[in-house]
A and B are shown apart, each in its own frame.
Chain A
Amino acid sequence: MAGAKPALSPYLNEDHDAFRVQVRRFVERECTPHIDAWEAAGELPRELHRKAADAGLLGIGFPEKLGGVDVPDRFYQQIVVEELARTSAGGLIASLLSHGIASPPLMYAGTPEQQQRFLRPVLAGERIAALAVTEPGGGSDVANLRTRARRDGDHYVVDGQKTFITSGMRADYITLAVRTGEPGLGGVSLLVVEAGTPGFTRSPLQKMGWHCSDTATLYFDGCRVPVSHRIGAENAGFMAIMMNFNNERLMLAAQAWASAQLCYEESLAYARERQTFGKPLLSRQAIRHKLVDMKSRIDAVKAQLDLLTWRVSRGQTPIADLCLLKNLATSTLESVAGEAVQIFGGAGYLRGAKVERVFRETKVLSIGGGASEVMKDLAAKQLGY
């Protein structure tokens, strides 16, 4: 291993490389051949979650005692995202890894009983978890969420709606943000709601992209949830949600980078093959300049992505930097995916081209997990402006 090839990153060692080889193999065999069918079906098969768990992918970053895989840094999660992104189907990442945003609160603040019941089966791929924070009346404004949980003996009675919920149709366990206390950030709690609980219904949403990811609006109407399903202390949910957002933004940035890199590689390969007026497209200066511009922007994103992944791995929480990274990565993706489709020409407008799918799915990354505008406001505030 040592000396076998020059190191390309100060952050990665042979373990990362060996792990990436296995993830890539999994994606090539278990995902790529089925993506179109899953996109048409509008959801991922449950079997995929079990296969991914068996391959050791779902538990990365979760504790070993719950069936997870302890990792020394966050690059392992990044590798999973990067390799899944090579399919071009962003919905695959969002939905297969929806526990990546739904389950951390259980990991950090759940009781051992809650972890055994709600986390272990998810890491084993037997159950699906979804996070439900956004409401029809507001997304990032978590402090003012309106879904109400009223205490009634040893239950909460939940009334309200959640929307844009990834894996929302299939999820067995919903990590649900509710108002248990006074208005504002000090009155928010997290509950786990099980599918099938009376008073909990859902309906699917049709989207521009991410077709293989089921997205739902959730309705709670007098839904009784045991108090024992509350994660952490009452009215202490706001911080857990905010911590989760930082993690989500880092992962969304990784997804945006990997999708942009895929667009670049696809366009370069196409430009080599495609002949126009008797010459390869790649010999045209206009195209060559597009490609190097794409590469320089993508590489800049990668440098900042890796640096922040390293910092987060070391326990830092650089909120402003993560917001700006998400914007840098997603705006780069919007530009790179647009150029990629342009290089492909008509072929890039057709279903079947990877760049077509990536292009169609750029907006969700610029909006989800905190819209670019919200990211800028939050960054400015965090920087003390």
Chain B
Amino acid sequence: MKALVSVKRVVDYNVRVQVKSDGSGVITEGVKHSMNPFDEIAMEEAVRLKEKGKLTEIVAITIGGAKNEETLRSALAFGADRAIHIKEEGDVQPLTAARAFAAALKKEGAQVFFAGKQAIDDDANQTGQMVAALLDIAQATFASKVELDGGKAVVTREVDAGLETLEVDLPAVITTDLRLNEPRYLKLPDIMKAKKKPIETVTFADLGVEKGAALTISKTSAPPKRSKGIMVKTVDELVSALKSKGLV
């Protein structure tokens, strides 16, 4: 059974993100990037399933410019067998990404599409769901446990009310949540071996994908600065302070 795993190159989670002075976005030049942490969890899960014999092949896929090769090499060091680089510069919105992944999933005949539940850059949390909708296949999002068996996936999901367990037919989209696993440390021999694994380069045109800007970002701004707090002495004082602000 084959799995396709999407991996996105994002600004590293340790970087203190700065908004561009003209409000057109955030500064990404000269800033450390790494694989979206939720996608690392997706990669880790795919590799564990392959180690258990539940998957036979893992294909990593990404969309972006030349620098995304670094992200694919990380995925290959994790244990992906090969990678697909959809080489497109510029902003890629969830629907465009989903169309491309759907096309690749179909072309590859993969049974599972793994992705992080969201990417930490725009936190859209849409792409996985859109892939499922475009292909009219099952989706199980926010996975905290994944089992593959006999053409089905049993996925435990983290939902507001607690845990929900879904059984879905394959092919299916599974998006991964924080507590699914703890991604491994990539070992040096794996980092070195990853350089020899194949990366196929394609474009949206090759996949028959139309790049459409469905959304326009009108402005990016930094969160408002936290103003100075006050100390209260009693619970009553706290309640009345909240009441006076109309918060309770």
Contacts and interface: CB of A to CB of B under 8 A. Distances in A.
A55 B185 contact: yes
B185 A56 contact: yes
A40 interface: no
A19 B66 contact: no
B73 A18 contact: yes
Contact of A69 (B66, B77, B187): B187
B187 A55 contact: yes
B77 A18 contact: yes
Given A1-B73, A18-B77, A25 B185 contact: yes
B17 interface: no
A113 interface: no
A144 interface: no
17 contacts: A3-B66, A4-B66, A4-B67, A14-B70, A15-B191, A18-B74, A18-B186, A19-B188, A21-B34, A22-B186, A25-B185, A55-B184, A55-B187, A56-B185, A56-B188, A71-B188, A76-B188
B191 A18 contact: yes
Contact of B69 (A1, A19, A71): A1
Given A19-B188, A69-B189, 11 more contacts: A15-B191, A15-B192, A18-B73, A18-B77, A22-B187, A22-B188, A54-B185, A56-B185, A64-B189, A69-B187, A71-B188
Contacts of B187: 22, 55-56, 69
A40 B216 CA distance: 55
Contact-residue bracket for chain A? 10 to 19
A22 B185 contact: yes
Interface in A1-42: 1, 3-4, 14-15, 18-19, 21-22, 25-26
Interface of B: 34, 66-67, 69-70, 73-74, 77, 184-189, 191-192, 195
A60 interface: yes
Contacts of B189: 56, 64, 69
Contacts of A19: 188, 191
A95 B248 CA distance: 55
Contacts of A60: 188
Interface string A102-113: 000000000000
A26 B182 CA distance: 12
Nearest to A21: B34
A19 B190 CA distance: 10
A254 B74 CA distance: 27
A3 B67 CA distance: 9
A4 B185 contact: no
Interface of A: 1, 3-4, 14-15, 18-19, 21-22, 25-26, 54-56, 60, 64, 69, 71, 76
A71 B191 CA distance: 12
Nearest to A23: B185
A56 B187 CA distance: 5
Contacts of A64: 189
Contacts of B195: 15
A273 to B, nearest CB: 14
B77 to A, nearest CB: 7
Contacts of B186: 18, 22
A4 B66 CA distance: 8
Given A1-B69, A18-B74, A18-B77, A26 B185 contact: yes
Contact of A1 (B70, B184, B185, B188): B70
Nearest to B32: A21
Contacts of A54: 185
Nearest to A18: B191
Nearest to B12: A21
A18 B69 CA distance: 13
- 6 A-B pairs with the lowest CB-CB distances in the bound complex, closest first: A56-B187, A55-B185, A18-B191, A22-B186, A22-B185, A19-B188
Nearest to A57: B185
Counting chain A CB atoms within 10 Å of each CB, the highest count among B66, B67, B185, B192 belongs to: B185
Contacts of B67: 4
Nearest to A71: B188
A353 B189 CA distance: 36
A15 B188 CA distance: 8
Nearest to A4: B67
Nearest to A1: B70
Counting chain A CB atoms within 10 Å of each CB, the highest count among B69, B191, B195 belongs to: B191
A120 B189 CA distance: 18
A54 B186 CA distance: 10
Contacts of B192: 15
Nearest to A5: B30
A55 B188 CA distance: 9
Contacts of A21: 34
Nearest to A52: B185
Given A21-B34, A22-B186, A4 B70 contact: yes
A38 to B, nearest CB: 20
A18 B33 CA distance: 12
Nearest to A79: B188
Contacts of B184: 55
A22 B191 CA distance: 10
A11 B76 CA distance: 24
Counting chain A CB atoms within 10 Å of each CB, the highest count among B66, B67, B187, B189 belongs to: B187
Contacts of B34: 21
A69 B186 CA distance: 13
A15 B77 CA distance: 11
A253 to B, nearest CB: 22
Nearest to A64: B189
A3 B65 CA distance: 12
